[in-house]
Amino acid sequence: MDGRPHPGPNAAHTWMGFSTGRWDGDMLIIDTTHLKQGWVRRNGVPMSDRAHMTEYWVRNGDLLTQIVMLFDPVYLTEPLVKSTEFVRSPRELPAQTWLWVCDPVVEIATRAEGAVPNYLPGEHPFEEEFDRRHGIPHVATNGGAATMYPEFQDVVKQAPKPAPLPPPSRGATRVTGPGQQQQGR
């Protein structure tokens, strides 16, 4: 908030990044750069170390609104915009009533400490699994923002369909939908 500039491109990238803030009227604007490579969501779109984020915080009475715009020239074809609303509690709550029990655990016990799973570009063995399972052309699942416009349907119609996945092996269990499993034949 003191007006200092963001560091150069070779400065350290951290999980929190480097943030600067400024007021524009009654709106707080926070710009964050120097974020480590990660994910927009844990199970979804990756985020490069070239991403930068702009947050807008506005209070209107008991309502606090946060609007986040994430720009990533590597993985996003246009900004990702998300908003969150916070409502002030009308009564005083005991301290820490918003906290919940959270115990850290090792999620993948067989992985060596410090190991980071990764695939180099073009080496991911499951890159087209979703496409093949659902018979969707690869251009539709990797097309970015263009896939949301009606004219993209023509691109999908002209794209080759992927080869289907082989049937599950005898006795294997496969997931057929949310919360459903089907025994293989």
pLDDT recorded at residue 159: 93
Q: Are 52 and 120 in contact (CB under 8 A)?
A: no
pLDDT recorded at residue 43: 61
pLDDT recorded at residue 17: 94
Distance CA 185, CA 175 (A): 14
What does the pLDDT profile of the chain (185 residues) look like in tens digits? 888 899 998 999 998 999 999 999 999 999 999 999 988 876 678 899 999 999 999 999 989 999 999 999 998 989 999 999 998 876 666 665 566 666 777 677 788 877 877 888 888 888 888 889 888 898 988 888 888 899 999 999 999 999 988 887 776 665 554 444 544 44
Q: What is the DSSP string of 74-86?
A: TT-SS-EEEEEEE
Q: Are 181 and 174 in contact (CB under 8 A)?
A: yes
pLDDT recorded at residue 175: 54
Distance CA 126, CA 141 (A): 13
All structural domains of the chain with their residue ranges: 18-87, 126-166
Distance CA 152, CA 141 (A): 12
**Strand boundaries in the chain, DSSP class E:** 18-24, 27-33, 38-39, 46-47, 52-60, 63-71, 80-87, 173-177, 180-183
pLDDT recorded at residue 88: 83
Q: What is the DSSP letter of 42?
A: T
